[in-house]
DNA sequence: CGCGTGGTTGAACTCTGTCAAACGAGGTGG
DNA sequence: CCACCTCGTTTGACAGAGTTCAACCACGCG
């Protein structure tokens, strides 16, 4: 268990984005957690729900989304392993959007009551989780900027940069390859574009030898060019320690 | 002072969006606050800054914005009196955007250190402010949805609905009139549109007898139609008490 | 009365959307 | 092992919302 804890996605995640101590993460994981495996397209919590527990993603991808009157969908966040996608439900009773899986996923649920009790007793931990929700908001600001003021090409490049950095357990560079179980349709719904447009720009990227997105795998051949097209600067993700430093910290081989 | 406190914008604001007690708001206002009057277009904190205090808006409007490489600006939030626009700086050291005034404004500054000390001692207060930042994130999700999936007409209607509800001290209805010191240019930068497009749609609204936006005053003649065009539902603002209930609570005449 | 900020207008242009159909890889069942 | 289904991707022709550029207007303030 001890050894396994070191590789827990939540630990990796909180270590890279907060000043949390390992002991405090351990306290989190000692809460009465229920694990569950669910398939792709599973609705974890729906708009209007009043959840009584928080969800932690152990494996797989999820997204938060809303559906408009005309049936159009807008994805307002992607979540990767280690994320606590609905931490907000701790203080906002009613869900104003849905949380669904984009791939088969392994989830863990932490009861609000238990979490609230722990946070009340441990102010450092409360601050770390507050900080996590603030980073989620920073990502939203970046999305607003991207959707509001960038062309489709830059938007697509930007989301790919973001997801790469957020999922990357090791440093990002050329020939980076990550599992990205996201369809072009889902990218379109996140970027305020149509699938047709996303498809055409992705093909252009491919033709330019920049990247390849196939079989749920993203391979980046020219990271610095992609970054430049996207105007991507990872500052808004507010890493306290770069992901590769976390690997070193956890004593992992690379 | 006692009487004046009742009408303090922060009190009105926190009472309408959190379960905070009046005593706790009072504790906030007893912190060593420095007030300051600034003109329009004043930069309160700039991107890259590491502020050591939080800003409270007493009077006037402010916005948070970012500027892209090509000079385009994206406004990522509007803030009205009573808001604590950079509460996030308490836990995110480096500003990833700028905070500027849209009108002459009266600001109050609360040192981080003092605020952090109070929040550490008073968990209820910490929860209330955490909740406030979560509502800011909910507004951002709404903006992403609006910018990503709605036509210009609906987007413009939506932001007008939102600002009306957020500033309204009394209930909203027909012939509602609010001070809105926001130019069409600023609306455009918030909505991911150009000033030309905003202008044309506003004229259309005016021709339809729906509303009028003139001389920094917004007058709404047909609230329910505007709401409908915008697909506006105030749920995402997560009011704990409707603004008019707060008025009653504060013993105000209407 | 002049200046400046902010609002208004018109014409040409373009990026992205719409619609509709075809393709391809992976999995399933007969 | 092939037919068949499904999900996701690809393609083409066309339409349209919003942009760009550039000029003009109007009101409020010193």
CA dihedral (A89, A94, A96, A97) in degrees, to 10, reads 60
Inform me whether the pLDDT recorded for A254 exceeds 50. no
Closest partner residue to A133 (CB to CB) among B77, B137, B148 is B137
Out of A107-116, A121-130, B16-25, B181-190, least confident range:
B16-25
Per-residue pLDDT, B10? 84
Query: How many CB atoms sit inside 10 A of residue B50's CB?
Result: 10
The structure tokens listed for B93 are 């050291």
Of residues B69, B94, B140, nearest to A144 (C-beta): B140
- For position A2, what pLDDT does the model report? 47
Residue–nucleotide distance: B138 CA to C2 C1' (Å): 47
Q: What is the pLDDT of residue A168?
A: 75
Which of the listed CATH numbers 3.20.20.370, 3.40.50.2300, 1.10.10.10, 1.25.50.10 matches domain A146-237? 1.10.10.10
The pLDDT value recorded for residue B137 is: 98
Query: Best mutation site among A84, A145, A185 for testing chain B: the one with the most B CBs within 10 Å?
Result: A145
Protein-covered nucleotides on strand C (Cβ within 7 A): 5-11, 15-20, 26
Tell me which chain A residue has its CA closest to the CA of residue B128: A91
Reported as a single tens digit per residue, the pLDDT across A196-227 is 999 999 999 999 999 999 989 999 999 999 99
A113-131 burial: b if 16+ Cβ within 10 Å, else e: ebbbebbeeeeebbbbbbb
For residue A178, give the nearest of A199, A196, A194, A162 by alpha carbon.
A162
- Mean pLDDT (chain B) is 91
Q: Could you tell me what percentage of chain A is helix, strand and coil, using 3-state DSSP and rounding each to the nearest 5?
A: 45, 20, 35
* A127 vs B91, B145, B235: nearest CB: B91
Q: What is the pLDDT of residues A36-56, one digit of tens each?
A: 999 999 999 999 999 999 999
Residue contact B140–A138, C-beta within 8 A: no
When scoring B145, B190, B191, B192 by the number of chain A Cβ atoms within 10 A, the one with the most, hence best to mutate, is B145
Closest partner residue to A192 among B66, B131, B148, by Cβ?
Answer: B148
Predicted local distance difference test score (pLDDT) of residue A171: 59
Q: Crossing angle, helix B195-207 and helix B184-191, to 10 degrees? A: 110
Q: List the Cα angle B178/B36/B60 in 5-degree steps.
A: 10
**Nearest alpha-carbon partner for A155 in B223, B175, B235, B192:** B192
The yes/no answer on whether domain B2-122 falls in CATH 2.60.120.10 is yes
pLDDT tier at A1, thresholds 50, 70, 90: very low
Q: Which residue has the tokens 């490489």?
A: B69
Domain extents for chain A? 2-123+242-249, 146-237
Cβ neighbours, 10 Å, residue A203: 11
Measured distance between the N- and C-terminal CA atoms of chain A, rounded to whole angstroms: 22
CB contacts, 8 Å: A140 with chain B: 137, 140-141, 144
Cα separation, A27 vs B195, whole angstroms: 52
**Helix, strand, coil abundance in chain B, percent, nearest 5:** 45, 20, 35
Tell me what pLDDT residue A224 has: 94
Tokens of A144: 């607003």
Residues contacting strand D at CB < 7 A?
A 183-185, 195-196, 199-200, 202-203; B 151-153, 192-194, 196-197, 215
Mean per-residue pLDDT for B71-87? 96
- For A121, name the nearest residue in chain B, comparing CA atoms only: B123
Largest CA distance in chain A: 55
pLDDT of residue B170 exceeding 60, the answer is: no
Tell me the pLDDT tens digit for each residue of B191-214.
999 999 999 999 999 999 999 999
Q: pLDDT tens, A100-132?
A: 999 999 999 999 999 999 999 999 999 999 999
Assess whether pLDDT exceeds 70 at residue B252.
no
Torsion on CA atoms B22, B26, B28, B34, rounded to nearest 10: 140
Burial class (CB in 10 A: 0-12, 13-18, 19+), A196: exposed
pLDDT at A92 over 60: yes
Question: What's phi and psi for B229, nearest 5 deg?
Answer: -60, -40
Per mean pLDDT, which range of A160-164, A241-245, B174-178 is the poorest? A241-245
Structural class in CATH, domain A2-123+242-249: mainly beta
What pLDDT sits at residue B244?
A: 65
Please give the residue that has the higher pLDDT: either B251 or A91: A91
Instruction: Check residue B247 and give its pLDDT.
Output: 64
In strand D, the nucleotides that come within 7 Å of a protein beta carbon are 7-13, 17-22, 27-28
Contacts of A138 in chain B (CB under 8 A): 88, 92, 96
Is residue B169 very low, low, confident or very high in pLDDT (cuts 50, 70, 90)?
Answer: low
pLDDT interval class at B5 (50, 70, 90): low
Residue A240 pLDDT greater than 60, yes or no: yes
- Across the range B33-52, mean pLDDT stands at 96
The predicted pLDDT at position B168 comes to 75
Sheet strands (E) in chain B: 34-38, 43-45, 53-59, 62-67, 73-79, 98-101, 105-111, 176-179, 211-214, 217-220
Torsion of CA B101, B102, B104, B107, to 10 degrees: -30
Q: Which residues pair with B59 in a beta bridge?
A: B106
Residues on chain A touching B141 (C-beta within 8 angstroms): 64, 66, 76-77, 96-97, 140
- What share of chain B has pLDDT > 90, as a percent? 79
Partners of A73 in beta bridges: A67
Q: How confident is the model at residue B3 (pLDDT cuts 50, 70, 90)?
A: very low
**Radius of gyration over alpha carbons of chain A, in Å?**
18
* Numbered residues of chain B with Cβ closer than 8 Å to any chain A Cβ: 64, 66, 68-69, 72-74, 76-77, 88, 91-92, 94, 96-97, 120, 123, 126-127, 130-131, 133-138, 140-145, 147-150, 191-192, 231, 235-236, 238
* Among candidate residues B251, B253, B247, the one with its CA nearest the CA of residue B16: B247
Instruction: Name which of B55, B50, B54 is nearest B38 in CA terms.
Output: B55
């Amino acid at each position: 268990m001890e050894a396994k804890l070191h590789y827990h996605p939540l630990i990796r995640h909180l270590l890279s984005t907060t000043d949390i101590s390992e002991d405090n993460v351990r306290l989190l994981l000692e809460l009465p957690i229920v694990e569950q495996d669910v398939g792709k397209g599973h609705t974890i919590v729906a708009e209007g729900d009043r959840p009584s527990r928080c969800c932690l993603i152990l494996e797989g991808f999820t997204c938060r989304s809303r559906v408009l009157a005309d049936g159009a969908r807008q994805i307002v966040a992607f979540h990767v392993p280690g994320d606590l996608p609905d931490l907000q439900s701790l203080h906002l009773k009613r869900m104003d959007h849905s949380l669904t899986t984009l791939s088969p996923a392994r989830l863990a649920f932490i009861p609000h009551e238990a979490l609230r009790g722990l946070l009340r007793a441990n102010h450092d931990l409360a601050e770390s989780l507050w900080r996590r929700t603030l980073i989620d908001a920073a990502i939203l600001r970046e999305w607003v900027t991207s959707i509001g003021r960038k062309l489709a090409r830059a938007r697509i490049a930007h989301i790919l940069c973001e997801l790469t950095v957020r999922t990357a357990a090791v440093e990002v560079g050329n020939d980076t390859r990550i599992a990205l179980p996201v369809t072009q349709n889902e990218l379109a719904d996140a970027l305020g574009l149509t699938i047709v447009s996303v498809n055409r720009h992705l093909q252009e990227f491919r033709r330019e030898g920049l990247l390849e997105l196939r079989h749920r795998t993203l391979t980046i051949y020219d990271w610095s060019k992609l970054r430049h097209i996207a105007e991507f600067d990872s500052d808004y993700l507010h890493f306290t320690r770069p992901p590769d430093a976390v690997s070193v910290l956890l004593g992992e081989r690379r």
